[in-house]
Amino acid sequence: TLDAETLWRQDRDHFVHPFTDFSVFHDKGCELITDAEGIHVQDIHGNRFIDGIAGLWCVNVGHGRAEIGQAMAEQATRMAYFSTFNNLSNAPATRLAAKLAELAPAHLNHVFYSCGGSTANDATIRLVHYYFNRLGKPNKKRILSRHNAYHGTTYLAASLTGIESNNWEFDTLDGLVTHLSEANLYRRPEGMDEAQYCDHLVAELEATIAEIGADNIAAFIAEPIMGAGGVLVAPRGYHARMQEVLRAHDILYIADEVVTGFGRLGHIFASEAVFDTQPDVINLAKGLSSGYAPLGATLISDRLYEVLGTPQGKGGVLSTGFTYSGHPVSCAAALKNIEILEREELCANVREVGPYLEQALATLSRHPTVGDVRGSHFMMCIENVADKDTKALFPVDARVGDRVAFEAQQRGLIIRPVGHLNVISPPLIWTRDTVDEAVAILDEALAATAESLRR
C-alpha cells in the first residue's frame, strides 16, 4: 500500500524534478501517478485520467503492456547487463539493430546505441566530427540547428537546442552551433505566402553557408516537425529543399526523429515517408521502446559507416559510447514494442484517427484565446493568444498554458503545457471515441480558462 502523505513529503524534500518551477513546486508538491493501463493513468488518490501526452511523447503502444514487462523480466533474469564495448555483444541489441535496419530507409543499415534522445544527439555530433576528421576535413565542425529546436539537455545537445529559455541560466558550446530561423507558418513574416516563406528559409540557409563556408560546416540537424518548440510544421517542400542545398555543399543531414519516429505521424519513420528526405542519420529514442525502458539509437547511413566502421574505410578506434549502449533489457523492451506496433497496425490507426483528431481540434479555434491549432496526426498543439488579430501573447505570469492544462486535468484529461502552448500527443491507440471524449473536455477547459482570465 502507498502512503500518499509520506510519499508527497519525501518527494518534496528529496526529489529534484527536471524542468520544474520551484517557485510553485514547494506549495503544490508533486502529483504521484501510480497506475497506468491502455490510454489511462491513475493518481495515488484513485483519480483516473486520459493520457493525452503518451507520458512525454513516448508511450506509443499505450500503458500496461504485460508482454513488454515479461520480455524485460526474461532478459533481466537471463543476462541483465554486460558490456558492448570492443567486440562484446548481446542478442537483443543485435536483433534490434537488424530490425531497425529492416524498417529504416534502404540506405540506413547501421545502429549506434545510446541512453535516450539527448545522448543520441550528443553521440551523433561526435560521430559526424569523427567522420570528417577521418576524411581529412577536420575543419568541418559547425552544426546548423534552428531557433526553438529541442534536441536535449546534455551540454552538447543543449547547445543544439534553440529554445532560449532552456539555456538562459547555462553556458552552451559557443562557436559550435549556428541557429537558423525556425519554420513557423503561424508567425511567418507579414505578406508572405507558404511558398514564398519556404523560399525565404532556404535562402537563409544558402546565405549562412556562404557566410560560414561549407568547409567549416559538418551537419544540419532538424526535427521533421519541431516538437517542444511548438509543434511547428514546416512549409510544404521545406525539408527536401533544405536537403538539396546541404547535399550540394557536402553537409550532412541529421533528422531528429526522437518524437516523430515509431508511428506518431503514421509511419515508423517520418523523414522519407512523409517529408521525402533521405537523411544521413536518423536519431531515435522515446517511441523506440515506448518509454518502457530508457533507450536511444542513431541510424547511420552506409556512406558514413564505410568511414566509421569498416576496415577498408578510414576508421580507427571509435572512442565514444556509453556503459548502457545496447542495454539488453532496454533492447528487449524495444523489440517487443516494435512487434506490438506492427501486429496491431498502430501506424495505420494513426493514419486513420489522426486526421479525425486534427479536424476535431480545429473546431476549438472558435474559442477567443485559441490563436492556432496545428500539427499533424498524433502530434498536435494549441497556441493560446490574448488577441487573435495581432497574435499578441498573454503576459507570462498569466500562465495560460498551465491554466488550460489544469482545467483539462480537473475534467479527466492530461495535456502538456509548454509556456503559452498546449501539446496533445496521445498514445497511438486512441480511437475516434477517445478523440471525441478528449476534445469535449478541451472545449470545456478552454471555456473555463477564458472565464478565469476575465476575472
Q: How far is the CB of 399 from ligand PLP (least distance, A)?
A: 21
Q: Closest CB to ligand PLP among 54 and 445?
A: 54
Residue nearest to ligand PLP (CB): 117
Position 145: which residue type? Answer: S
Q: Closest CB to ligand PLP among 71 and 222?
A: 222
Contact letters (x/-) for ligand PLP, 134-163, by CB under 6 A? ----------------xxx-----------
What is the SS3 assignment for the chain? CCCHHHHHHHHHHHCCCCCCCHHHHHHHCCCCEEEEEECEEEECCCCEEEECCHHHHCCCCCECCHHHHHHHHHHHHHHCCCCCCCCCCCHHHHHHHHHHHHHCCCCEEEEEEECCHHHHHHHHHHHHHHHHHHCCCCCCCEEEEECCCCCCCCHHHHHHCCCHHHHCCCCCCCCCEEEECCCCCCCCCCCCCHHHHHHHHHHHHHHHHHHHCHHHEEEEEECCEECCCCCEECCCCHHHHHHHHHHHCCCEEEEECCCCCCCCCCCCCHHHHCCCCCCCEEEECHHHCCCCCCCEEEEEEHHHHHHHCCCCCCCCCCCCCCCCCCCHHHHHHHHHHHHHHHHCCHHHHHHHHHHHHHHHHHHHHHCCCEEEEEEECCEEEEEECCECCCCECCCHHHCHHHHHHHHHHHCCEECEEECCEEEECCCCCCCHHHHHHHHHHHHHHHHHHHHHHHC
Q: How far is the CB of 32 from ligand PLP (least distance, A)?
A: 21
Q: How far is the CB of 143 from ligand PLP (least distance, A)?
A: 14
**Site size with ligand PLP, rule: CB under 6 A:** 14
Tell me which of 198, 259, 268, 428 binds ligand PLP, using CB under 6 A. 259
Q: Does 239 bind ligand PLP (CB under 6 A)?
A: no
Binding piece for ligand PLP, criterion CB under 6 A, among 230-238, 252-260, 380-388, 432-440: 252-260
Tell me which of 62, 227, 230, 287 binds ligand PLP, using CB under 6 A. 227
Cβ atoms of 122 and 152 within 8 Å: the answer is yes
Within residues 353-382, the interface with ligand PLP by CB under 6 A covers none
Q: Closest CB to ligand PLP among 162 and 385?
A: 162
**452: closest CA among 391, 405, 388?**
405
Q: Does 322 bind ligand PLP (CB under 6 A)?
A: no
Q: How far is the CB of 232 from ligand PLP (least distance, A)?
A: 12
Q: Closest CB to ligand PLP among 222 and 439?
A: 222
Q: Does 285 bind ligand PLP (CB under 6 A)?
A: yes
Binding piece for ligand PLP, criterion CB under 6 A, among 93-101, 207-215, 256-264, 434-442: 256-264
Cβ atoms of 279 and 254 within 8 Å: the answer is yes
Q: How far is the CB of 366 from ligand PLP (least distance, A)?
A: 30
Q: How far is the CB of 379 from ligand PLP (least distance, A)?
A: 10
Q: Closest CB to ligand PLP among 327 and 367?
A: 327
Strand partners, 219: 143, 252
Q: How far is the CB of 294 from ligand PLP (least distance, A)?
A: 7
Within residues 85-144, the interface with ligand PLP by CB under 6 A covers 116-118, 121
Q: How far is the CB of 223 from ligand PLP (least distance, A)?
A: 5
Q: How far is the CB of 259 from ligand PLP (least distance, A)?
A: 5
Within residues 166-225, the interface with ligand PLP by CB under 6 A covers 223
Integer Cα distance of 363 and 410 in angstroms: 21
Q: Closest CB to ligand PLP among 116 and 162?
A: 116
Q: How far is the CB of 260 from ligand PLP (least distance, A)?
A: 8
Q: Closest CB to ligand PLP among 56 and 448?
A: 56
| Residue ranges that bind ligand PLP, judged by CB under 6 A | 116-118, 121, 150-152, 223, 227-228, 256, 258-259, 285
